Structure 1
Amino acid sequence: MKIQDGCSVRFWTDLWHPKGRLIDLAGEIETQKLGIGMSARICDVFVDGEWRFRRCRDHFLQDLVHDIRELPLILTANVSDGVLWRDGDDTYSSRFNSKNTWSNIRKKKDQVMWSRLIWFQQGVPRFAFITWLAWGHAQYCLYCGEQDETRDHLFFACPYTFTLWLKVAGNLFGMDPDPDWDTTITRLLTGHYDRLTFILLRLVLQVTIYYIWRERNERLHNHVSKPVEHIARLVDKTVRNRIMSTCYYLRPRLQGLMQRWFGAHDT
């Protein structure tokens, strides 16, 4: 908070002190020892250039009061308080920036090598999310009855899902698709593909995973199952719809995208 006249900033509950909200530091019970009500504003506590605190013997509160007194503060009459948004570690701005805010609140980790297989411009967010999502439960495979349904089994060691993967991947890899997950990812990351093929490989991978997961949930919750051919048609239609939505025919870098998809499935 940017304090001006102090009339709209709550002493206990607003975030105006560098150490955080004072109520979180002191606790509700301790507020009574300083004689400051929960609804008190800065202008109620800081009067004529001085903080008005009740004397107390609590060592923690004494340290807190000392920290508050050390913070330079001058109230400016008839100037409204403002909100500041954190841009960096020690910088603040009156303008909200969603990118900076997200960067400040998220937990930062090293970028994984397979991130470009998940997030790319021609992808679809819901497919990317399902591809990225990890699940930690263990149960039997709803497709083939295998004892442990792991990621590696579901994509694509299971006979059902591998049959689907064979149908929809076509000749995009330049060789027969492999049922092993690690091998598939390695081929995607290290293979030398032209731009259009690499877009299609990532897209069809995500769409396939999405429909495998959706079909799995249908079998689990609704006890309804579909044949591989039906899922393959859904994947094909979804990929073609996504290709059309990119207006590939108007964009030089994407021209030939639909033709490459059709060419990968010529029999």
Structure 2
Amino acid sequence: MVWRVASSHSSLWVKWTKTYLLKQESFWSLQSKRTLAWAPGGIWFTHSTPKFSFHAWLAILDRLTLHGRPNDILDCKHQPLLSVFCQHPVETRSHLFFTCIFSAAVWCALTKGLLKRNYSLNWQDIISFISDNTRPHLILFLTRYVFQATIHSIWKERNSRRHGEQPLASNNLITVIDKHVRNRVSSIRLLGDTKYEEALYTWLAARS
């Protein structure tokens, strides 16, 4: 996925991404402009899932189309579009993914036991944590992975609700993300990477 964007692949999806998400800038120029704000290892890491990484990368670069001001986007009745999760009139990156009552419940359920005293709903605190390579490697891997899975899942749920699809309750979304993490760490064990052989136990212990 990233290779297609970076190499100017001519598919319709890549053209849409460059026009509406990258704003006609190159993949590499976006990387270089923001290297001081976060470490690429927090997004591009061993055993990550490309579609999760890509959405997390766009979120970190603040390239997702959000309603940053109350009157940015209007519905067909010329009324401001409110947050689909909590009806808040201003949709920011931090609010959508972590401080909205819906997303906060999701993040808390998934990571409070894992992060313990490092648990936070603050965007910058979370980015700092996943960018810190001095953290214990299993905790760091699991936090990075669940961060990306959460970004992807909340963004997907947000867009589904905008298009009138049946909404998922926060508990259901927690189950979906938890399954993503379990499936990934289980697949890593099958690959024989012994560095992560305790990842599933660590995750289950944190979730208990």
**TM-score normalised to structure 2 length:** 0.71
Answering whether residue 136 of structure 2 is matched by residue 194 of structure 1, we say: yes
| 1:44-74 Cα deviation digits (max 9, x unpaired) | xxxxxxxxxxxxxxxxxxxxxxxxxxxxxxx
Question: 255, 261, 264: which one pairs with 2:197?
Answer: 255
Question: 155, 174, 177: which one pairs with 2:97?
Answer: 155
Contact kept in structure 2, 1:249 and 1:255, CA below 8 Å: no
Q: Could you tell me how far 1:122 is from its partner in structure 2?
A: 1.2
Contact kept in structure 2, 1:130 and 1:209, CA below 8 Å: yes
Question: 117, 124, 133: which one pairs with 1:175?
Answer: 117
- Counterparts of 1:74-153 in structure 2, within 5 Å, are 102=7, 107-108=28-29, 109-110=32-33, 112=35, 113-133=38-58, 134-138=63-67, 139-153=81-95
Rounded to whole Å, the distance in 1 between the matches of 2:108 and 2:191 is 28
| 1:134-170 Cα deviation digits (max 9, x unpaired) | 2244142110011111101112110100000001113
Are the structure 2 counterparts of residues 183 and 106 from structure 1 closer, same or farther at C-alpha, using a change threshold of 3 Å? closer
Superposed structure 1 runs of 4+ greater than 4 Å apart: 105-108
Residue of structure 1 in register with 2:13 after alignment: none
Rounded to whole Å, the distance in 2 between the matches of 1:106 and 1:260 is 35
Root-mean-square deviation (CA, aligned residues, Å) is: 2.5
Structure 2: 5+ residue stretches without partners:
9-25, 68-80
Rounded to whole Å, the distance in 2 between the matches of 1:107 and 1:252 is 33
Contact kept in structure 1, 2:40 and 2:131, CA below 8 Å: no
Q: Which structure shows the bigger proportion of residues in helix conformation?
A: 2
Contact kept in structure 2, 1:248 and 1:255, CA below 8 Å: no
Q: Could you tell me how far 1:244 is from its partner in structure 2?
A: 1.4
Contact kept in structure 1, 2:113 and 2:206, CA below 8 Å: yes
Rounded to whole Å, the distance in 2 between the matches of 1:107 and 1:179 is 29
| 1:190-237 Cα deviation digits (max 9, x unpaired) | 485211111100000000111101111111002421111100000011
Contact kept in structure 2, 1:248 and 1:256, CA below 8 Å: no
Residue of structure 2 in register with 1:233 after alignment: 175
Choose 1 or 2 for highest CA Rg. Answer: 1
Query: What secondary structure, in the 3-state scheme, does the structure 2 residue paired with 1:264 have?
Result: helix
Structure 1: 5+ residue stretches without partners:
1-97
Which AA in structure 2 matches 1:259?
A: Y
Query: What secondary structure, in the 3-state scheme, does the structure 2 residue paired with 1:231 have?
Result: helix
**TM-score normalised to structure 1 length:** 0.56
Rounded to whole Å, the distance in 2 between the matches of 1:177 and 1:202 is 13
Residue of structure 2 in register with 1:28 after alignment: none
